Amino acid sequence: MKIVLLDADTLGEVSAIDDLKKLGDFIKYGFTKPDEVLNRLSGADIAITNKVVLSKEILSQLPDLKLICVAATGTDNIDIAFASEKGIPVKNVKGYSTDSVAQHTFSLLLHLADKLEYYNSYVLSGEYCKSEIFTSLARPYWELKGKVYGIIGLGAIGKKVANIATVFGAKVIYYSTSGVHDDPDFERVGLEDLLMQSDVISIHSPLNDRTRGLIGEKEFKLMKENAILINVGRGGIVNENALIEALNNDRIAGAGIDVFEKEPMVGSSPILKIKNKERLVVTPHIAWASIEARGKLVEGIISNINEWKAKS
């Protein structure tokens, strides 16, 4: 059985990858360009992909392919309908990054809320050495306790974040992007109410027709001036031009962004036009990628392959 991993570089160094060798003739590629996909999957029984696109055009030319394993939760890079028509199961991995994304959410938030960029620079620049007092109050910061924490998308990750926010003493409200989710532990509100009430707004929903462009110029105008926006969901949910305009014009206090409309981010991105860098913290889509999460992801792929083999 031939197993091909198309984009190993997106998983990094994970010891569990070597366990895939026990399942068959395993071949891995660090990165696969679109014009290389067909050749590399020729004769493969199992394809493993994170972001490499497997379109109808590609799948129609792979008669030996029997299983597609997505090294992620989202499957939007696969033509699911055509794969189903050809009898090729598509298996993703769920829940592997919940703890990692929740932790990163608060890393971004606390970096902004506690004004860490300013204070770190203040100390390391030597300015603190010149101070006549033991502290600096140049950048006031506030506690999460007693604040309203608004969550867009209360799935597994959103629920984890909600529970952590509650430990900090925040009041949690949420907006259901599907319109059907109800959670007895937290108050569900409409999007406009969430935007107007929240001191912190964090996004944990998938990108789909209901969420694409969900947060734009109109929505930023509804937010509090002290609000902090965190997006660890998908880049297309937030209009980046509107975000930078809101930050540059003091409509909101700050933003922590881990996902972008285009990834990798392009050099012309409005994100790079932020005037006050203290108001923005950005990371390159790494919220999901703790060492532990990547290990769980590979273990999930192996489990999916074994489950498929047992049924075949």
Report H helices in the chain. Answer: 37-41, 56-59, 80-85, 98-113, 116-124, 156-168, 191-197, 217-222, 240-248, 291-311
CA gap 47, 3 in Å, rounded: 6
User: What residue type is 292 in one-letter code?
Assistant: E
User: Using a CB cutoff of 8 Å and minimum separation of 24, what contacts does 119-124 make?
Assistant: none
Contact, 298 vs 16, CB < 8 A?
A: yes
Catalytic option among 251, 279, 285, 294:
285
Torsion 212-218-224-226 (CA) sign: positive
Assess whether 285 carries a catalytic annotation.
Answer: yes
Catalytic option among 85, 263, 292, 307:
263
Concatenating the DSSP letter of every residue in 93-155 gives --STTHHHHHHHHHHHHHHHHTTHHHHHHHHHTTTGGG-SSS---SS----STT-EEEEE--S
Catalytic option among 234, 251, 279, 294:
234
CA gap 118, 213 in Å, rounded: 31
Assess whether 234 carries a catalytic annotation.
Answer: yes
Assess whether 263 carries a catalytic annotation.
Answer: yes
DSSP class of 42 = T
Nearest to 171 by CA among 137, 144, 134, 142: 144
**Residues annotated as part of the active site:** 234, 263, 285
